[in-house]
Structure 1
Amino acid sequence: MAFKLIYALCFLLLLLLLPFPTPAQTYHNISLKSSLVAGEDSSPWASPSGEFAFGFQKIGNKGFILAIWFDKIPEKTIVWSANENNLAEEGSTVELNTFGQLVLNYASGEQRLLSDHHSTRGIRVAYAAMLDSGNFVLADKESNNLWESFDQPTDTILPTQTLSIGSVLFAPYTATNYSNGRFQLKLESNGNVVLYIQQTFP
């Protein structure tokens, strides 16, 4: 009986010591010099599961918004945007340039730098990725995030995303106009979350 018990314990210990494979998250890395063009049939950069997408979405006849949205639902609900107050014309592009900067190039010639990361001590952006969390990131070769959309919230906070002190969420002007509306939600330095309503509003 004692022998059987020892044998069973040894077998259990062996099982515990065996390595078990763990599923690794897959990233669809976006290489430097990659770009997207604003247009009726433009394809976005999707997350591995296809849950989220980053790209241009047409807003009525007003132009294109560079955004992140839920891509598996018919409404394509936007959760982050880069140019809500200045829509892009058809033919505009967003580019991850050779310096690792995310740049929005308007067809009119205007250029806007979206990422604020600057190379320091040889650390440079190696690629971008749209993650299944809804976070669009610029990362170095060691997969450390150097810039991420989660740090630049617009009107939505997603699960796992945090709101830092001083951050402000702006409600859209209307359901079809994503420019900043009259309602603002701000995390104050004392830790309070305060809703501000702009009294004079066009």
Structure 2
Amino acid sequence: MALAWQYPLFCLLLVLLLLYPTSAQISRNISLGSFLTSENTDSYWASPSGEFAFGFQQIGKGGYLLAIWFDKIQEKTIVWSANGNNMVPGGSKVELTKDGHFVLSDPVGKEIWKAELFGSRVAYAAMLDTGNFVLATEDSRHSWETFDHPTDTILPTMTMSRPQQTCCSLL
């Protein structure tokens, strides 16, 4: 008879544990219409653990890189940058537009770089604890991610794919 009340209690405990979010699933979503400017380098989008940050890094006096860096170490080491490592001037802006585009523009609003999106509409962005910055759909699928556009650093959870051959066979 003692088991009669323990089984429902165990099932309830199991359901509650399944509903409890784990730290690996947590991300801070960046909503449509959000933006960062290069002149405010104290403003960036951090991963939930704070290990990585996405925003502008000033490089000497020459300009700014839109980048991802290790944020918990003294030397803010860059692991990814947009726009082919080309610096942008002060006053530049990166925005996740209301219609789901991710655009880097100069101080007068001229587009410098954008994430090439294919497929579903972007609903939000997120800086993940893996060091991957993603643009995601309503159902959390990644429409675009920095891991698909590596620069000169490979992070532990990155996978490298072989470029597809698009050429024809020899005659």
Moved more, 84-93 or 27-36: 84-93
Match of 2:168 in 1: none
How far did 1:158 drift? 0.7
TM-score normalised by the chain length of structure 2 = 0.81
- Alignment root-mean-square deviation, CA: 2.5
Aligned match of 2:137 in 135, 140, 146?
140
Corresponding residue pairs, total? 159
Per-residue CA deviation, residues 26-51 of structure 1 (Å, 9 max, x unaligned), is: 21111111100001544111111111
Query: Looking at both structures, which has the greater relative contact order when contacts are Cα pairs under 8 Å and sequence separation is at least 6?
Result: 2
2:65–2:85 Cα contact (<8 Å) kept: no
Matched residues in 2 for 1:66 and 1:134: separation? 14
1:107 paired residue number: 107
Give the aligned residue type for 2:150.
P
Structure 1 distance, partners of 2:153, 2:92, is 25
Structure with max Cα Rg: 1
Instruction: Give the alignment partner of residue 158 of structure 2, picking from 138, 161, 175.
Output: 161
Residue by residue, what CA displacement relative to the aligned partner does 1:150-193 show, whole Å, maximum 9, x if unpaired?
Answer: 10000011111111113xxxxxxxxxxxxxxxxxxxxx97xxxx
Sequence identity (%)? 55
8 Å Cα contact 1:135-1:149 kept in structure 2: yes
Structure 1 stretches of 5 or more lacking a match? 1-6, 167-187, 190-202
- Counterpart amino acid of 1:71? D
Q: TM-score, normalised by structure 1?
A: 0.69
Task: Answer whether contact 1:88 1:107 (CA < 8 A) is retained.
Answer: no
| Structure 1 residue ranges, 4+ long, deviating more than 3 angstroms after superposition | 14-18
